[in-house]
Amino acid sequence: MRLSRPLPVLLAALLALPPALAAPRFEGRQVSVQAADAQAFLQGRFPQRHSALGGLLELTVSNPRLELPPGTRMRLGLDLAAATAGGTATPVGRVQLSSALRYDPARKAFFLEQPAIEDFRPAQAGLALDEGTRGLLNAWLADYARSEPVYRIEPPLAALLGGVQVEAAGVRDGQLYVLLDRDPALPASE
């Protein structure tokens, strides 16, 4: 990483990160995030409960498992449980999806882009992902992709990006990456 300003500013930003998360790696114009760091971010955001059908059905999504394989799509596995009319949640199964990623520069976060259900493992033999459940799950996925980040660059580090523009972002070489239009400049120290 090439530093054009004093190192103490960067160190202060890194120390301000939550202890469970490692810092994204800055290498010239590229910012990269390892799979374990994105996984740690996701763990803190689950379980999630989502109401559907006017509150008649509640979907609980838990135990996220993120993989960043070679290529341009990530994989995300999630456990599903459903409850009707305020009843106890019953396990439905585990869904595996794949997705490209988009980076939102205003929110300094990665979001799912074009998620697709790849596999479903029912909790009980004989269960299947019927069209109604698949439709409900796809509606949840679309909402999740719009509003919930898969990973967010923490504010102290996001501040280092300043007015730098994003040229590209996604999954590459087993990591999340953001390619910037120039090296981020560190703010001057007081």
12-37 tens-digit pLDDT: 333 333 444 456 888 888 888 899 99
Domain span including residue 140: 7-180
Is 46 among the domain residues? yes
Per-residue model confidence as pLDDT tens digits over 33-66: 899 999 999 999 999 888 877 778 888 899 999 9
Residue 182 and residue 164 in contact, taking contact as beta carbons nearer than 8 Å: yes
The CATH number of whichever domain residue 148 belongs to comes to 3.15.10.40
Q: How many domains does the chain have?
A: 1
Residue 162 lies in a domain: yes
Please indicate, yes or no, if residue 108 is contained in any of the structural domains. yes
Closest CA to 52 of 84, 92, 90: 84
User: Is residue 186 assigned to a domain?
Assistant: no
Place of tokens 């090439």: 2
Place of tokens 């760091």: 37
- CA 117, CA 166: separation in Å to the nearest integer? 28
Residue 25 lies inside a defined structural domain of this protein: yes
Q: In this structure, is residue 86 part of a structural domain?
A: yes
Question: CA 20, 64, 116, 179: dihedral to nearest 10 degrees?
Answer: 10
Q: Is residue 1 part of a domain?
A: no
